Structure 1
Amino acid sequence: MFAEQIQNGIIYGDQNFFVPPHLNFGAFVLEKILEHNDRVALINGETEEQITYPKMVQKIVNIASSLTDLGVEIGDVVAIASENRLEYFVSSIAVYCCGGISTFFNNAYTKNELTHAIDISKPKFMFVSGEVFKRHSETLRSINFIKKIVLYDDIESSGNDCIRYRELSERYVDINTYKPIDYKGKNGTCMILYTSGTTGLAKGAKITHLNLIVACQQPHFGSSLSRELTSLFIAPWSSTMGQICGLQDIVHGIRTVFLTKYEERLYIKTIEKYKVGYLTMPPPLVVMLCKSSIVNEYDISSVEILFVGGAPTNPKTITQLKTRYPHIKHLLQAYGATEATGSVCREMEVAPKEGSVGPIVPGIIIKVVDPETNKVLGVGEPGEVRMSGPAVFDGYIGKDKKDDFDEAGFYKTGDIAYYDKDGYFYIVDRIKEIIKYKAWQVPPSELEGILLQHPAVKEAGVTGTPDLLAGELPTAFVVKQQGAIVTEKEIVDYISDKVAPWKRLRGGVIFVDEVPKTPSGKILRRKLKALLQSVQKIPASKL
């Protein structure tokens, strides 16, 4: 089977997709939603508010028609700056239907982060929650290209630049006569997503209608067991993981429970309350489930599947999880990227392999190359993942594609991986995040996975401390379990017993209250580097 997928070292995922002639992703979603009858689409797990698929369709066409009347034209950017809420996907899908481009700002953005993102995408219209408006109204009103601000909440505001979401959504439009924009087969930008910024300032990735149509036709987690499984989602819908997984759930007719913020007890309580069947989560939440004492107070036996993305999950953590929760049938890992419109590789319920992120997904083409020589590598040879295909994005706003794509048109991910004889991929680490100790390469994620096996460690992040002789010394930032007593030497020795000499924590251990992460759960290496500069300590190699 895999032999048929690989040609001259290039691995091809299935490239057979239905592409509607109108090529409007919004219209594609509407067509899918109408197949779900009276099913519940979304539930706010904290407030119990919910929306059914038929009501969602009605709201979408109402908002889309209203946006057209407000002056949204083909190619106009419309931003959403809000916590997760029922109105979120209604708003973005409506934007696609009327020809606009959706973009998403995290509701926790600082003023500088918000202005940076706004400067990239230059939205003419914005949907804003009351919380965000109260915090950033002065900034938003100072930007002259923002024409209208649509407020989700009924809060105090003055000026003609604001309008209530309620006024747009309650305008009735007949869903049988409403017609989304027909692009007549011409592809274009549909969505702007921002890279996670783990190593620097975020960039705006241009996601096309075709990208999203393809991504939403990829096989869905849980679909082979039962569409009746309820999903619980915690990632912000401003993130790539939040957007793509959320849209896939909607297209496949899944009932999704969401939360606006993560709080351990609330998360576990919500699983019990809604008898959640599968969880979409970053690796830190897997560790939480392994180590939480709160779980014992609740019944979470409904959980059958965990879909884990954002970073590799250590195989020993997976074993611990399945031992503690024998009712969990599968922990399925994925390797994804904003630039791939979601998943690049993904495990399915059938024949997962320990430590793997699964085979290539439909819509993606991969080659693994030596990043220095560009030589295409074979089975078992780690190299940079480069990708192409109809799910791969159209480049970054304001950047020449030559900077990020090779001569054959493959996007250079900067991720190091290898694949086995069956076509299953294994992620090693990021090129830019690999620690260089003398002539040796040390993957931070490997050390983080081992650290999380220590009973006193709740969270861990690893980076390199600059050293004149060695280049970099592996250094760990550790969050202790509540009430745990452990010393730096104990953790250094624990790692030394389990790794090759060059991977030891020669830069020592720094105890912190939290490890900085993106909303989707990725460790922010640049912030770890910044923390290093503020800490004066003796390297462990000299203790």
Structure 2
Amino acid sequence: MMRSPYADEVIPDVSVFDFLFADLSEDDAGRVALIDGVSGGETTFGELRARIEAFAGALAARGIGPGDVVALHSPNVPAFVIAFHGILRSGATATTVNALYTTAEVARQLEDSGATMLVTVGPLLPQSGPAAEEAGIPADRVIVLDGADGHPSLAELLAERAAAPSVRIDPATHVAVMPYSSGTTGFPKGVRLSHRNLVANVVQCTPVLDVESDDVVLAVLPFFHIYGMTVLLDLALSRRARLVTMPRFDLAEFLRIIQDHRCTYLFIAPPIAVALAKHPLVEEYDLSSARALLSGAAPLDEKLAGAVAERLGVRVRQGYGMSELSPVSHVIPPERDDLSLGGIGVPIANVECRLVDLETGEDIDTPSEGESRPGELAVRGPNVMLGYLGHDDDTARTIDAEGFLHTGDVAVVLADGSFRIVDRVKELIKYHGYQVAPAELEAVLLAHPSIADAAVIGVPDADGQEIPKAFVVRAAGHDDLDEAAVMAHVAGLVAPHKKVRAVEFIEVVPKSTSGKILRKDLRAAQ
């Protein structure tokens, strides 16, 4: 077993709201907490706390409280922060919905999570409105933050000035948020994260993420994703830093916001790193305010990381985690210039790790020199999820009897105590940091009348980023089915990040005697 090189941090036994706002000083209340990157509008910490409490009061007046699930379907705007923390303050559970989801995908999450209320924005109402109706959520319980006919708005809820409810919860067992993750395989499942999980992960990151109160943090990674939720939103708020929201990624707008708002700390995913390293537009902006950049959500190539660091003159680091870990378990610390930028660094405070031999199940020890043989990374700590909603068998397969969460990622440990991800046991595809479950795309493909069988794997594109590739067996008499038709079929039924981006027609999908798709055989042939 390997332990964090950092001493354990004390995890407060409080709700997320109390952790972030209970000790808000008068000076901090006057500090700017949020800046709308598009409009430039500012919200102070004091205003934010008051609006969160008013939102929670409005929810309580509508019968929302502990035991209820409220869905939040919104891009990164200041109103997201009010709604998200207002839901948690009310005692309810927030299930955050990918802003790119189709109506069918939104409806599936609403129904699976048991959501009885939906909070969204006008631009997403064409998807979320019909989804709510399909899930049995009436229009008066679909809150449209920026306003829409027939729906309550954020302004209306805040104007009610309802007092925030008195809520008693056990932070260790009460589910605060329920993002959806495919785990190590299969369809997306609700990841039950407690208040303690979220508070713990922010506290655990104290020694390795040096965001300070005078930092300006650019929030382009989505808050609905656990990375944005914990590492950007909650960590920045806890450090009293200034958070600049950006609803969607556009390179020119991304660079403009860094320049105009003098952003200092950038949290990104690898596709943004590619643009920062290679795109000529970068030279047209003054990015000298940036001092640190952290990449997560998918593996970052060491050479790419070095190219970004050199071009921007910033410190570049990489972290690792997953929704089930709230999400961070490993980070390259600020002071560790000796560690490879292609690795994931060391375990954060309060974390214990194991590398499990894939064949023998035995633990792999840290070597005295060089690197260990590969093994599946398993993690134990206060950030490990409570479990999957309604999937006890999957929970039991993921978290063992000793409390170690088996990540499905294959890693090696180096003599210096750092880790590097080398492969995946799990079948998930990471496209631009988003999870794509092969089984979900395969089900969509098999619904096409011209497709007899199909399999999906992740393959590298020209920039070394993973994309979904479909292997398709044409149905008899449908030899005219082409790549464009397959791609169009899938694109019409899934969110953009799930689209199939390469197609290969084959005679038969390789399968085991039990009928399981042998994706390793497909990968080996690439």
TM-score (normalised: structure 2):
0.78
1:67-99 per-position Cα deviation (integer Å, ceiling 9, x unaligned): 111101212101111121111111121222221
Percent sequence identity over aligned pairs: 24
Which residue number corresponds to residue 248 of structure 2?
A: 261
Matches within 5 A, 1:149-160: 149-157=142-150
**Which is worse superposed, 110-119 or 143-152?**
143-152
Shift in Å at residue 43 of structure 1?
A: 1.2
Question: How many Å separate the matches in 1 of 2:207 and 2:79?
Answer: 24
The correspondence for 1:205, drawn from 168, 191, 194, is 191
In the alignment, the residues of structure 1 paired with residue 8 and residue 495 of structure 2 have an alpha-carbon distance, to the nearest angstrom, of 28
Please report how far the alpha carbon of residue 225 of structure 1 lies from its aligned counterpart in structure 2 after TM superposition.
7.3
Query: Does the CA-based 8 Å contact 2:332-2:344 persist in structure 1?
Result: yes
The alpha-carbon deviation at position 406 of structure 1 amounts to 2.4
For 2:440, the equivalent position in structure 1 comes to: none
C-alpha contact (below 8 Å) 2:100/2:495 kept by paired residues: no
1:337 aligns with 2:327: no
2:76 corresponds to which letter in structure 1? N
| Shift in Å, 1:195 | 1.2
**Of 401, 404, 413, the match for 1:407:** 401
Which ranges in structure 2 are unaligned for 5 or more consecutive residues? 367-371, 430-456, 473-486, 508-521
Deviation at 1:399, TM superposition (A): 0.9
Q: Secondary structure at the match of 1:90?
A: helix
Alignment of 1:233-272 (within 5 A): 233-245=219-231, 246-272=233-259
1:26 aligns with 2:12: no
2:504: which partner in 1? 532
Q: Which residue is equivalent to 1:275?
A: 262
Deviation at 1:182, TM superposition (A): 2.5
Partner in structure 2 of residue 216 of structure 1: 202
Q: 2:160 aligns with which of 171, 174, 196?
A: 171
Measure, in 1, the Cα distance between the counterparts of 2:273 and 2:171: 42
* Aligned partners of 1:34 and 1:53 also within 8 Å: no
Q: Which runs of 5+ in 1 are unaligned?
A: 1-8, 436-443, 452-456, 468-511
Aligned to 2:377, the other structure's residue is in SS state strand
Kindly tell me: are residues 323 and 107 of structure 1, through their superposed partners in 2, closer, same or farther at Cα, counting changes over 3 Å? closer
2:419 alignment partner, one of 394, 401, 425 = 425
Q: Which of residues 180, 183, 201 is equivalent to 1:194?
A: 180
Q: Any conservation in 2 of the 1:84–1:236 contact (CA below 8 Å)?
A: yes
The CA deviation at 1:411 is 1.6
Please list the CA deviations of residues 138-195 of structure 1 after superposition, one character each: whole Å capped at 9, or x if unmatched. 33123225671112122222xxxx3222121123367xxx665222666221110111
Deviations 1:388-447 (A, max 9, x none): 221100110111132322232322110011222232111112113599xxxxxxxx99x9
Q: Equivalents in 1 of 2:503, 2:202: separation in Å?
A: 39
**1:9-61 CA distance string (max 9 Å, x none):** 243564432323xx322222222555733111111211212211110011011
Question: Which position in structure 2 is the counterpart of 1:140?
Answer: 132
Q: Distance in 1 between matches of 2:94 and 2:227?
A: 15
The alignment's C-alpha RMSD in Å is 3.4
How many residue pairs end up in the alignment?
453
Does the Cα contact within 8 Å between 1:222 and 1:229 map onto a contact in 2?
no
- Three-state SS of the structure 1 residue aligned to 2:244 is strand
Instruction: Name which of 128, 133, 151 aligns with 2:120.
Output: 128
Distance 1:184 1:339 in 2: 20
Checking the alignment, whether the CA contact within 8 Å between 1:58 and 1:173 is kept in structure 2 is no
Distance 1:117 1:464, change over 3 A: closer
Task: Tell me which of 37, 55, 68 is aligned to 1:63.
Answer: 55
CA contact (8 A) 2:184 2:407 kept: no
Task: Quickly say closer, same or farther: Cα 1:531–1:209, change in 2 above 3 A.
Answer: same
User: Using the alignment, how far apart are the partners of 2:195 and 2:95 within structure 1?
Assistant: 14
Q: TM-score, normalised by structure 1?
A: 0.76
Counterpart in the other structure of 1:374: 361
Q: Which amino acid aligns with 1:264?
A: L
Is the counterpart of residue 99 in structure 1 residue 85 in structure 2? no
Structure 1 contact 208–394 (Cα < 8 Å) conserved: yes
Q: What residue in structure 2 maps to residue 396 of structure 1? A: 388
1:45 paired to 2:37: yes
Q: Which amino acid aligns with 1:82?
A: S
Q: 1:500 matched to which residue of 2?
A: none
Match for residue 292 of structure 2 among 305, 317, 332: 305
Q: Which moved more, 1:362-371 or 1:55-64?
A: 362-371
